Chains A and B, each alone.
Chain A
Amino acid sequence: MGVLPNKMLHCAISRRAEAVAASLAVLLVIFMLGSLIWTSPVQAEDELNCVLCHKFRGLSRIDENGRFRLFYINENLFMKGPHKRIMCMDCHRDIKKIPHDPAKKVTCTVKCHLTEPSSKQKFSHAPVKKVLDSSVHSKYDKDGNLKDYPEDYPSCKNCHEQPLYRPLSFFKGESSGISRRGLSRCKTCHQTGDFAEDFYSHVTSRLQKTRESREIVEVCAKCHGDPAFQKRHNLDNVIESYKETFHGKAVTFGSDETADCLDCHVVYGESVHSIESHKEPTASTYKDNVAATCRNEECHYKAGEALAGYMVHTDYDNAEKYPMQYYMLKFFKGLMAAVLYFFVVVIFLELLRRLFPNFSFIKETPADAESVLHRSSTEKGA
């Protein structure tokens, strides 16, 4: 891809002014291409042939803070997500020439060169940011004051990697991947370029979770599983207690039908970015709303209100908060230890006894033995 701009770059830039001019020209072309992207037959994502260098896995360095910076782009994977339709420079905006300076951090909320089809406006992730800013994950409180440890609050990249499509096929039962038969129907009318594939992948990906439940838990665990983080924000280890529930275990073993963090902590039908603290009356986990959350139409819809009484995030070590669990566990542990160690000792002694079967500190007269035997058999007869 992108053979043409190469040549252009090679000969064009010989003085700084010319370089700037050339960059602008290239950018202009890109702008035009970008705005046509839904309908454009051209794969316009790499006009500047960035992968010429960035396709090499070894392109990397250690930065001044000791961080490993990897500049490798896996083109195969890049082309498997919605971002395939935008160019490198759409996000990496400070790069205007090749070779380029160290790139700045990407801002996700800029307006990019795609047109959002419903509004015909330039696409942006800004609405997501707006929702996030009013959620528990905003670094500002309700009054607009900075919360403690603001650096702990997430921005886009803390939870999101480069998104990848998870297309679904609905022919002859649901399965993953693009249905060739489904696609062929799209292609009847929408023949140009990859439009049909992209549209198909985009829409069907949205009909399911964009990420496997297991990955969702890992995303939350990045912060909520960190003991130092829990301490700073006075939070329980909710990741561990979740993993101890059947929900957590099913998810660990790859179930996508069981509740993950988002299913309970997001108000049914709302954006996942809108999570609120359980203290907020509008939160899905507010004490009066828990039953409704459990009983939503996709989960425990058959259940009664009382299901909400189930304690999901049980800390079995916390006797004050969860006395029943704590003492029950204590009982069972005690029972287990008593039974098992009793038999471990008995079996050990029995084996030891076998080593010297005929030895004894105290000798027994044959009469004793006889009487014991007699006693036992008479008893049995009774």
Chain B
Amino acid sequence: MLHLIKTITTKVYTIALMVFTIWYGFFLYPIIYGHGGADHDVDVVASADAEADAEITALLDEADMQEEQFASALKEQTSTATTNLGYMVVKEEYVQGHFHHVGMTVESDDTSLCIRCHGAIPHDKAKAIRAFLNMHAFYLACETCHIQPKTKGQSWAFRWYDKKSGNPISNPPGLTSHDKSMYGNYGAKIAPGRISSSGQLMFLNDAKERAFVEKYLQEKHRLGSTQQSKMKKVIHRRLDEKPLLCDHCHNDKTPYLPFDSLGYPKRRKQDLVGTEVAGMVAKYQEFYMPKFLLPGTGWNSDTANPAEGEAGEHEQ
């Protein structure tokens, strides 16, 4: 019996070693015939993922312009830039043609169902304030501004969620930091939800909703264009025609968001609802872009010139 086990073990080991020998044969070939160590690596910046690099370089070889754009986007996405100052090393995301140091890499929101189609930098229509809107999209879930309670008097419960997992988390400690370069950069977003009867917070865009969108994207190719439109309507059913506006939150009387319970320290809340931000917002509304109150509803003039803004107002 023991002898049999020994024989079988030896044979199994022998076969495993044969497999290894064959693997070694294949392993040898590129080692012998690829000279030196370089993989023709011609990357702009040090990259974390050598395999992705090879893919990108291959893509770059394609002459096609669109392909090239795609490749450069991929390169930007997988690259990081490193600056060694000796006493500190700055590791940051690589942004093509960017002069100022970013000084960090940020995590993407992997859980937002809106971002699945619209991307993380979705605002483009309101030319003068789109960057501001995108800035807010960095720490506010889309539904925070785009879905308001339908019945009067009702209000959402707001909570931070983790960008990676999508789970509700306690208020980010970064909120109390005095490091201004980390403002808004908490790896988390504020999202609206309801408190269930058991006292649990249920985000509006919960796992069920996400699964629905996921399923739609998977099955889309099987639907006709009419059916696709129908599904889109369903997905967007709860969206408001007019999203939340700046002064809904940036006012010191009835701010839409409960800054206190979301963990904003007094001084930061003061900034947000006081002169610093709210004052700026008022100025925007008053002089700069009168139609700013209705972003995305026909306000897409390229200019942010006060004179033209005023003229626009007169026409209306």
A: which residues have CB within 8 A of B? 6-7, 9-10, 13-14, 16, 19, 51-53, 55-62, 66-78, 80, 98-102, 106, 157, 160-162, 164-168, 175-178, 211-212, 214-215, 218, 221-222, 225-228, 237, 239-240, 243-244, 254, 316-317, 329, 333, 336-337, 340-341, 344, 347-348, 351-352, 354-355
Instruction: Tell me if B224 counts as interface (CB < 8 A to partner A).
Output: no
Instruction: Tell me if B167 counts as interface (CB < 8 A to partner A).
Output: no
Instruction: Tell me if B90 counts as interface (CB < 8 A to partner A).
Output: yes
Binds A, one of B127-135, B193-201, B239-247: B127-135
Instruction: Tell me if B307 counts as interface (CB < 8 A to partner A).
Output: yes
Report Cα–Cα, A101/B103, bound state, in Å: 26
A53 contact from B22, B40, B44, B132, Cβ within 8 A: B132
Q: In the assembled complex, how far is the CB of residue A78 from the closest CB belonging to chain B, in whole angstroms?
A: 7
Report Cα–Cα, A101/B81, bound state, in Å: 29
New contact pairs (9) apart from A101-B303, A227-B57, A355-B15, CB-CB < 8 Å? A16-B307, A56-B185, A73-B181, A74-B181, A98-B280, A161-B101, A164-B85, A167-B87, A240-B38
Q: Which residue of A lies closest to B37 (CB)?
A: A244
Contact (Cβ within 8 A) B41 A77: no
B14 contact from A177, A225, A354, Cβ within 8 A: A354
A57 contact from B14, B60, B184, Cβ within 8 A: B184
Binds A, one of B143-151, B204-212, B282-290: B282-290
Contact (Cβ within 8 A) A59 B306: no
B275 contact from A10, A59, A98, A348, Cβ within 8 A: A10
Total contacts A-B at CB 8 Å = 216
Contact with A along B159-201 (1 / 0, CB 8 A): 0000000000000000000011101110000000000000000
A212 contact from B84, B101, B306, Cβ within 8 A: B84
Contact (Cβ within 8 A) B43 A340: no
Q: Which residue of B lies closest to A65 (CB)?
A: B69
Contact (Cβ within 8 A) A60 B276: no
Instruction: Tell me if B153 counts as interface (CB < 8 A to partner A).
Output: no
Contact (Cβ within 8 A) B106 A57: yes
Binds A, one of B28-36, B215-223, B228-236, B255-263: B28-36
Contact (Cβ within 8 A) B101 A164: yes
A59-B131 in contact given A7-B275, A226-B42, A348-B18 (Cβ < 8 Å): yes
Instruction: Tell me if B9 counts as interface (CB < 8 A to partner A).
Output: no
Residues of B within 8 A of A60 (CB): 121, 131, 134-135
